Amino acid sequence: MNYTLHQLHIFLKIAELKSITKAAETLHLTQPAVSIQLKNFQDQFPIPLTEVVGRQLYVTDFGLEIATAAEKILNEVHAINYKTLAYKGQLSGRLKISTVSTGKYVMPYFLSGFMKQNEGVDLIMDVTNKTRVVESLELNTVDFALVSVLPKKLKVNKITLMQNKLYFIASNNLEIRKGMSRKKIFEELPLIYREQGSATRNAMETFIANNNFSVRKTIELTSNEAVKQAVLSGLGCSIMPLIGIRNELRNKELQILTVKGLPIVTAWNLIWLKSKKLSPPAVAYLEYLNKEKERVIDEKFAWVDTI
């Protein structure tokens, strides 16, 4: 057999995502290139690795075993590379972080300087919803998680990065009847929610319940970006983190509507399990944050306090 590490990497990604298209997007390759590598890899085995039923790709039991073996092989290759760098005196290893979807507007700025200083460290960052972020932390598959609400059932350490402010927003093209109160706007216009399990969704529902608002019509979308686009299009209004709408406010595409009790103010917290034995890159990253956090906030997020 003459399969390559590149083929192992591609097949492992296909097995994880159950999709050639998604694997191609994740690996920044074309779909035909991934399909060719899968075929070349498959040709070296007498037993099918995948099968297509309808339009859905499935990984066979044999394929799952090969994927497990591929992951072990690739991990060993990474270990060899890291050991080589360690002998050269460079910090090396993987830094794994899971962040809630709105955290993608925050986390990269607190990582950029560290990654530039430590070229031997590989970064793996998963952007998902709060429920899955907490699950990844609980299963010990990541070093850190970025959340705005601390999980109640886990014993964690934390470092607070910065404030997270949520405002009631609408399209700048929204026509508001003269004399219409903000409460009426809130109750009469369609309200766009994030999906269940989202911290933003929880904050919205708590605010509505505490103020005894009645919501006439709701729309549910599964990402912060989708909510923003829906508001821009005029589908409705929403409560959103300020951090994700800077450009739209600057370009006067969105507006903040004043409602008593808003903004909701929470904080972005980087958390990790108290029982976690942190890797050298994870320890170094915490040291970097403690030293550089305030500088990053001053340089990249000073605009937040001007709203």
Residue 130's domain is classified under what CATH number?
Answer: 3.40.190.10
Q: Let me know whether 184 and 256 are in one domain.
A: yes
User: How distant, in Å, are the alpha carbons of 3, 156, 289 from that of 255?
Assistant: 55, 37, 33
> Domain range for residue 13?
5-85
User: How distant, in Å, are the alpha carbons of 164, 185, 207 from that of 265?
Assistant: 6, 22, 12
The count of other CB atoms within 10 Å of the CB of residue 183 is 12
Q: What is the reported pLDDT for 40?
A: 92
Residue 123 bridge partners (DSSP): 95
Q: What is the reported pLDDT for 226?
A: 92
Per-residue pLDDT of the chain (307 residues; tens, 9 = 90+): 788 989 998 999 999 889 998 888 888 889 999 999 999 999 999 999 999 888 889 999 999 999 999 888 887 777 777 666 665 667 878 899 999 988 999 999 999 999 999 888 989 999 888 888 999 999 999 999 999 989 988 999 999 999 999 999 999 988 777 777 767 777 788 899 998 888 888 888 999 888 888 887 788 998 889 999 999 999 989 999 999 999 999 999 999 988 888 999 999 999 999 999 988 899 999 999 999 999 999 999 999 988 8
Q: Let me know whether 69 and 114 are in one domain.
A: no
Q: Let me know whether 72 and 205 are in one domain.
A: no
Q: Let me know whether 168 and 255 are in one domain.
A: yes
In terms of phi and psi (left: phi > 0; alpha: psi -120 to 50; beta: otherwise), the region of 91 is: beta
Q: Let me know whether 180 and 238 are in one domain.
A: yes
Q: What is the reported pLDDT for 88?
A: 64
Q: What is the reported pLDDT for 92?
A: 79
The count of other CB atoms within 10 Å of the CB of residue 81 is 14
Q: Let me know whether 241 and 111 are in one domain.
A: no
The count of domains in the chain is: 3
Three-state helix/strand/coil letters over 238-289: EEEEHHHCHHHHHCCCEEEECCCCCCEEEEEEEEEECCCCCCHHHHHHHHHH
Compute the radius of gyration of the chain from its Cα atoms. 23
CA dihedral 121, 5, 15, 124 (to 10 degrees): 10
Q: What is the pTM of this model?
A: 0.72
